[in-house]
Amino acid sequence: MKCTACKDEAILRIKRHHVAFCQKCFIKFIQKQIIQAIKRYQMFSKKESVLLAVSGGKDSMALWSVLTDLGNQITAIHLDLGIPNFSDQSRQIVQRFAIDKNLPLVVFSLKEHLGYTLPELQKKIPRPACSVCGLTKRFILNHYAYHHHYSVLATGHNLDDEAATLLGNLLRWREEYLQHQSPCLPSDYPGLVKKVKPFYTLTDQEILWYVQQMKIPYCDSICPFSRKASSLDFKKALNVIEDQSPGTKHYFLFHFLERKHDLFPGKQPNGILKNCSLCGMPTTQERCSFCSVLETAQNKSQLFIGKDDIEL
């Protein structure tokens, strides 16, 4: 098997693009995909400082490495959720990488700042564990980025994640979520930081090859709470179809993104936003979902995160 780009011996084949690459050309391919994604959606420029959410998993570790190699100004933030074993392992990988490469990193401990670890919080809230986790991560990351003046927040979501989310939203016909799904969500209300997903064109497998080729350390344990997550079933279902017809996931996601504006013409994805009466962050309710979660957990209102309460 020959490399499509340089005709040297290839080490891997990407069926959906009908190409094979040697190591050097594969790394160039990944970099090019990122550069094009950033440009296509005007995600950020090299002058902007970007806050990158790093979990310690392969996607965010790869993104941290590749964005740094491409000369972007990246500050990583890792949320230590306090999940036994899993969180310690993830935090150590992230911290070691930051020290080895001399990269700026913020570690935000839930226990320290909220008084609860994620499992402690989940026990008090009558909602699925993954929903409490997702809501907490989204709130803290946006809150931190906003109050520390980052104009962009990047995450490691990839093509498989985005295609699984799309399938889940279609199966439940969640129109509001469908309108909102994009690799780049602009900041359209004070307090909402722009969100970007520069890996949305790359699959799980391609990113796995990248971390292996570049010898990037990552945590390969699965979060114990996510084992029952329906997104994993959607990923599996899409992979069954992908095996039969390579390129299906790619087609499914990209054609949705191209046609989204025709499907939902003139609709406002965020509804009518106002400021949460407790924390001041944007919400469609009187209180944001995160303050409601904290209030339920504590059963009194004094524990909300005020503007300065989570300064590091």
Closest CB to Zn ion among residues 163, 278:
278
- The distance of closest approach from Cβ of residue 81 to Zn ion in the complex, given in angstroms and rounded to an integer, is 20
| Binding at 276: pick from Zn ion, ligand AMP, none (beta carbon under 5-8 Å per type) | Zn ion
Residues 80-119 that bind ligand AMP (CB under 6 A): 81
Tell whether the torsion through CA atoms of 54, 55, 56 and 61 is positive or negative: negative
Stretch that binds Zn ion, among 32-40, 83-91, 234-242, 279-287 (CB under 5 A): 279-287
**Angstrom distance (rounded) from CA 234 to CA 172:** 12
Residues 217-276 that bind Zn ion (CB under 5 A): 276
**Angstrom distance (rounded) from CA 25 to CA 244:** 27
Q: According to CB under 5 A, which one of 278, 293, 294, 297 is a site residue for Zn ion?
A: 278
The answer to whether 78 and 106 are in contact (CB under 8 A) is yes
192 part of the interface to Zn ion, by CB under 5 A = no
| Binding at 253: pick from Zn ion, ligand AMP, none (beta carbon under 5-8 Å per type) | none
169 part of the interface to ligand AMP, by CB under 6 A = no
Strand 194-196 and strand 274-275: the pairing is unpaired
Gyration radius from the chain CA atoms: 20
Closest CB to ligand AMP among residues 79, 278:
79
| Binding at 291: pick from Zn ion, ligand AMP, none (beta carbon under 5-8 Å per type) | Zn ion
| Binding at 59: pick from Zn ion, ligand AMP, none (beta carbon under 5-8 Å per type) | ligand AMP
**Angstrom distance (rounded) from CA 141 to CA 81:** 13
Closest CB to ligand AMP among residues 57, 191:
57
Closest CB to ligand AMP among residues 156, 191:
156
Q: Which residues bind ligand AMP (CB under 6 A)?
A: 53-55, 57, 59-60, 77-79, 81, 137, 155-157, 161
Q: Which residues bind Zn ion (CB under 5 A)?
A: 276, 278-279, 288, 291
